[in-house]
């Protein structure tokens, strides 16, 4: 302490080195971010957003660690204390670097994973698994390289303890592994529309470590535990591809000419396939006299295909309007049944 009062440079030099390192680091940080933004703008890339979002806070910590290292190595701190400072700073740097890389990898998976041709949107579970794997590698490196700890006894201890934890967290682990299975099975993707055998239906919004979330067409959120989804019977309206077959029922007066009505319906369905954007011309529309006579009317089924499930309500509406106008123009009385005929209900998406 007396030396500090008699020789102020004992404190001034380390503090000055710390402040200088911080200032130079902040300037370098600003220059680096500017270069990254300029490169990304020229390359039309989103990498600048990912890098800056990842490094914005950790790089300040790294500058502070560097400053502390420079300051302490040029200070009068006794050697017995100085011995521990580099190792402590190395641990802080290793942890912060691992967390930053984990964060960056998770963002890369989320932003670029779904941009690949044929790829679907990335789930939260996939992102977290990548981040967790990097964290494990970072922790192992610290234990082995920095602390020189043998991993064999540690793994043995973790194996015994892990068994007890697994027994206590059966439901949590069941949801975790079921979520992993659902993610990698390829049977469900983000934005797919599914209907469970229990009646719930909607668009898949995310799959995380515990549950799968689904947005209904009424914009409500349905939460499904992963182990329940893994065991459920469900229909995915986006597999094997987004196209799906739809149908509408059309009733006419009981004394109408069946062949003429069938011809008019087919003409309008084919014309609709060429003029309505969401209705497909291949496979071509078809008309079925199904179920036929019902409640003093003749019921026909107009079958056509749409490009994706979301287009189904609008496509049905447009086809119905075209048919209604054409039949009225031809003088045919449109007569719909009061009740729905059996075995002739329209497919999902009313």
- Count of all residues that appear for the chain in the document: 350
Closest CA to 248 of 328, 349, 330: 349
Q: What is the rounded average pLDDT for all residues in the chain?
A: 78
170 and 291 share one domain: no
Q: Within this chain, do residues 261 and 133 fall inside the same structural domain, yes or no?
A: no
Q: Is residue 339 part of a domain?
A: no
Task: Look at the chain and report how many structural domains it folds into.
Answer: 3
pLDDT at 348 over 50: no
Contact between 176 and 163 under an 8 Å Cβ cutoff? The reply is no
Same domain, 138 and 194: no
Whole-model pTM: value is 0.57
Say yes or no: 140 and 154 in one domain.
no
193/137 same-domain check: no
What is the rounded average pLDDT of the residues 239-259? 87
Pick from 240, 259, 274: which residue ends a domain? 240
Strongest mean pLDDT among 49-58, 180-189, 225-234:
225-234
pLDDT digits (tens, 9 = 90+) for 94-124: 888 888 888 777 777 766 655 544 445 567 7
Last residue of a domain, one of 223, 240, 257: 240
Q: Tell me what pLDDT residue 107 has.
A: 74
Q: What is the pLDDT of residue 168?
A: 52
pLDDT at 117: 43
CATH number of the domain encompassing residue 167:
2.30.30.60
Same domain, residue pair 210 and 164? yes
| Structural domain contains residue 269 | yes
**Residue 340 is assigned to a structural domain of this protein:** no
312, part of any domain = yes
186 domain-assigned: yes
pLDDT for residue 211:
86
CATH label of the domain that carries residue 312:
3.30.70.100
Whole domain around residue 113: which residue ranges? Answer: 2-119+127-146
Q: Is 11 contained in some domain?
A: yes
SS3 229: helix
* Domain end (from 183, 214, 240): 240
In this structure, how many other beta carbons lie within 10 angstroms of the beta carbon of residue 259? 9
Residue closest to 187 by CA, chosen among 120, 137, 248: 120
Return the pLDDT at 266.
92
Q: How confident is the model at residue 143 (pLDDT cuts 50, 70, 90)?
A: confident
Same domain, 15 and 87: yes
pLDDT tens for 45-88 read 666 677 777 778 888 888 888 888 888 877 776 666 677 777 77
By C-alpha distance, which of 175, 224, 167, 176 is closest to 200? 224
Better pLDDT: 286 or 154:
286
Q: Please give the Cα distance from 334 to 197 (Å, whole number).
A: 36
Cis amide linkage into residue 291, ω under 30° from 0: yes
pLDDT at 336: 62
Q: What pLDDT band is residue 2 in, cutting at 50, 70 and 90?
A: very low
275 shares its domain with 169: no
Q: 161 and 133, same structural domain? A: no
Give yes or no: residues 289 and 198 share one domain: no
Please check whether residue 205 lies inside any domain of the structure. Answer: yes
Residue 200 pLDDT greater than 80, yes or no: yes
Q: What is the pLDDT of residue 156?
A: 62
Q: Is the pLDDT of residue 173 over 90?
A: no
């Amino acid at each position: 302490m007396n030396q500090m009062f008699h020789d102020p440079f004992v404190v001034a030099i380390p503090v000055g080195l710390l402040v200088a390192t911080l200032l130079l680091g902040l300037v370098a940080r600003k220059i680096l971010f500017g270069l990254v933004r300029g490169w990304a703008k020229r390359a039309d890339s989103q990498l600048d957003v990912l890098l800056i979002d990842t490094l914005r806070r950790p790089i300040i910590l790294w500058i502070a660690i560097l400053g502390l290292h420079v300051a302490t190595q040029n200070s009068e701190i006794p050697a017995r204390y100085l011995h521990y400072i580099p190792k402590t700073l190395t641990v802080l740097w290793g942890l912060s670097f691992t967390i930053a890389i984990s964060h960056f990898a998770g963002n890369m998976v989320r932003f670029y994973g779904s941009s690949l041709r044929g790829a679907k949107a990335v789930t939260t579970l996939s992102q977290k698994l990548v981040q967790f794997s990097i964290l494990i590698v970072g922790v192992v490196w610290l234990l082995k390289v920095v602390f020189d700890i043998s991993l064999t006894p540690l793994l043995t201890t973790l194996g015994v303890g892990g068994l007890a934890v697994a027994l206590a967290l059966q439901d949590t682990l069941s949801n975790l592994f079921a979520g992993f299975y659902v993610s990698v099975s390829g049977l469900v993707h983000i934005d797919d529309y599914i209907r469970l055998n229990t009646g719930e239906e909607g668009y898949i919004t995310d799959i995380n470590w515990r549950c799968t979330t689904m947005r209904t067409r009424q914009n409500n959120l349905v939460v499904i535990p992963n182990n329940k989804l893994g065991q459920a019977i469900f229909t995915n309206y986006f597999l094997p591809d987004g196209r799906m077959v739809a149908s509408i029922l059309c009733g006419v007066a009981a004394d109408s000419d069946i062949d003429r009505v069938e011809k008019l319906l087919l003409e309008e369905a084919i014309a609709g396939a060429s003029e309505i954007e969401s209705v497909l011309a291949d496979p071509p529309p078809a008309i079925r006299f199904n179920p036929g006579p019902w409640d003093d009317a003749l019921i026909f089924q107009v079958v056509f295909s749409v490009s994706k499930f979301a287009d189904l309500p609008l496509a049905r509406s447009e086809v119905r309007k075209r048919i209604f106008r054409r039949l009225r123009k031809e003088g045919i009385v449109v007569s719909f049944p009061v009740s729905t005929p059996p075995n002739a209900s329209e497919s999902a998406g009313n």
